[in-house]
C-alpha cells in the first residue's frame, strides 16, 4: 500500500471511529438535554424537537433511541433516580453505624445526589403534572416512590429492631422523613429560584435540623433517674 493510500485508509478509520463514539454518546446527550428542558419547562411544554436541538441532533435521531416523548421521560427518570436504588440499597446493607447516623447520612446523600442536581426538579414536575399524565404518574409511583418508601421503611425498621427507635407506624414514619426533602426540592425549583425572595435557607443546615427534630421523636426515651433523696 502506498503512503497516500495508507493515509486515506487511516483517515477513514479515524472518521468512522469518531462517528461510532458520537453515536454511542447520543443517548446520554439526549437524556441530559431532556432532563434540563423537562425541569425548565415541564413535561407538557417540552417539545421533542427542542430536546433534539439542544442535544445537537435531528428529531429523527431522537426517535431512533426513544419511541416517544413519554419513553424519553421514563428513560430520564431511570437514568437519574430509579436506576440508582440498587446502589443505595447496597449502601444501606453495608452500613455499620447507628441508625440515627444512617438516617442523617441518607437525608444528606439524597440531597447531594439528587436534590441539589437538575434531577431534583423532577419532584416538582411530577407534583404539578401527574394528574394530567396518569401513565407517567403510575410509572413514577412504581419506579421511584415505592422503592424510595421501601428504603426509608428499612432504615426505620432497622432502628426499631436494634432498640434504637421506638416502635412507630411505618406508613406515616416514612412521610415524616420524606416531607423535609420534598419541601426542599420543591422550594429550590420555585421560590428558591426567584430573585428577591427570602433565600436564607441553607439546604444542608435545614436537613441537619430536620434530622435532629425527627430523631428526637424516634429515639427511645432515657430511663428515669433514680430518686436518691429516699
Write down how long the chain is: 230
C-alpha span between 58 and 69 (Å, rounded): 14
Can you give the pLDDT at residue 14? 46
Question: Where does 68-169 have alpha helices with state H?
Answer: 69-80, 85-94, 99-110, 121-129, 134-140, 146-161
Can you give the pLDDT at residue 16? 44
Q: What is the CATH number of the domain that holds 189?
A: 1.10.357
87 shares a domain with 52: no
Q: What is the number of alpha carbons within 13 Å of residue 50 lying toward its C-beta? A: 14
Q: Which residues of the chain have pLDDT under 50?
A: 7-8, 13-25
Can you give the pLDDT at residue 212? 94
**Residues spanned by the domain of 185:** 81-218
C-alpha span between 156 and 102 (Å, rounded): 10
Residue 68 CB-density burial (10 A; 0-12 exposed, 13-18 middle, 19+ buried): exposed
205 shares a domain with 103: yes
188 shares a domain with 162: yes
Which cell goes with 200? 436564607
Which cell goes with 38? 423537562
Domain count, the chain: 2
85 shares a domain with 61: no
157 shares a domain with 96: yes
Quote the pTM value: 0.81
* 43-87 pLDDT, tens digit each: 999 999 999 999 999 999 999 999 999 999 999 999 999 999 999
C-alpha span between 68 and 72 (Å, rounded): 6
214 shares a domain with 106: yes
Can you give the pLDDT at residue 20? 43
118 shares a domain with 173: yes
The verdict on residue 176 lying in a domain is yes
Can you give the pLDDT at residue 198? 60
Can you give the pLDDT at residue 227? 66
The verdict on residue 73 lying in a domain is no
Amino acid at each position: 500500500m502506498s503512503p497516500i493510500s495508507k493515509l486515506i485508509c487511516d483517515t477513514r478509520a479515524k472518521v468512522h471511529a469518531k462517528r461510532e463514539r458520537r453515536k454511542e454518546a447520543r443517548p446520554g446527550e439526549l437524556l441530559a438535554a431532556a432532563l434540563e428542558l423537562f425541569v425548565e419547562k415541564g413535561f407538557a411544554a417540552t417539545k421533542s424537537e427542542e430536546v433534539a436541538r439542544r442535544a445537537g441532533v435531528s428529531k429523527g435521531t431522537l426517535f431512533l433511541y426513544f419511541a416517544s416523548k413519554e419513553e424519553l421521560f421514563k428513560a430520564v427518570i431511570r437514568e437519574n433516580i430509579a436506576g440508582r436504588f440498587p446502589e443505595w440499597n447496597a449502601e444501606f446493607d453495608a452500613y455499620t453505624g447507628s441508625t440515627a447516623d444512617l438516617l442523617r447520612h441518607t437525608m444528606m446523600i439524597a440531597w447531594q445526589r439528587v436534590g441539589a442536581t437538575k434531577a431534583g426538579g423532577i419532584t416538582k414536575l411530577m407534583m404539578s403534572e401527574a394528574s394530567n399524565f396518569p401513565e407517567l404518574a403510575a410509572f413514577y409511583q412504581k419506579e421511584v416512590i415505592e422503592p424510595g418508601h421501601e428504603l426509608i421503611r428499612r432504615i426505620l425498621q432497622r432502628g426499631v429492631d436494634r432498640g434504637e427507635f421506638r416502635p412507630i407506624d411505618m406508613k406515616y414514619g416514612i412521610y415524616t422523613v420524606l416531607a423535609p426533602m420534598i419541601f426542599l426540592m420543591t422550594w429550590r425549583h420555585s421560590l428558591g429560584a426567584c430573585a428577591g425572595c427570602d433565600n436564607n435557607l441553607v439546604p444542608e443546615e435545614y436537613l441537619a435540623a430536620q434530622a435532629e427534630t425527627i430523631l428526637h421523636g424516634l429515639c427511645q426515651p432515657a430511663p428515669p433517674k433514680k430518686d436518691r433523696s429516699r
